[in-house]
Amino acid sequence: MAETYVLGWHLPWPLPLVAASVAGAVLAIAIGSFALRPRRRDFQATVMLVVSIIASTLVVTEQGWFNGNQGLFGIPQPFASPLNLSVLGYAWFFVGIVLVVTILVFVLVDRLAGSPWGRRLRAMRENADAAESLGTSVRAESLKVFAIGGCHRGPQRRAAGGVPRRLVPGGVG
With 0.85 as the threshold, say if the pTM is over it.
no
Q: Kindly list the distances between the CA atom of residue 55 and the CA atoms of 93, 142, 170, in Å, as whole numbers in the listed order.
A: 32, 22, 12
Q: Is the pLDDT of residue 167 over 70?
A: no
Q: Is residue 166's pLDDT more than 60? A: no
* % of residues, the chain, pLDDT over 70: 76
What mean pLDDT is predicted for residues 149-173?
63
Q: Mind listing the pLDDT tens digit for each residue in 80-124?
A: 778 888 878 877 888 888 888 889 989 988 998 899 988 888 888
Nearest-angstrom CA–CA distance, 60 and 57: 5
Distances (CA, A) of 128 to 30, 40, 112, 117, 162: 22, 11, 19, 14, 40
Q: What is the mean pLDDT of residues 133-144?
A: 85
Q: Name the strand (E) or helix (H) holding 30.
A: helix 15-35
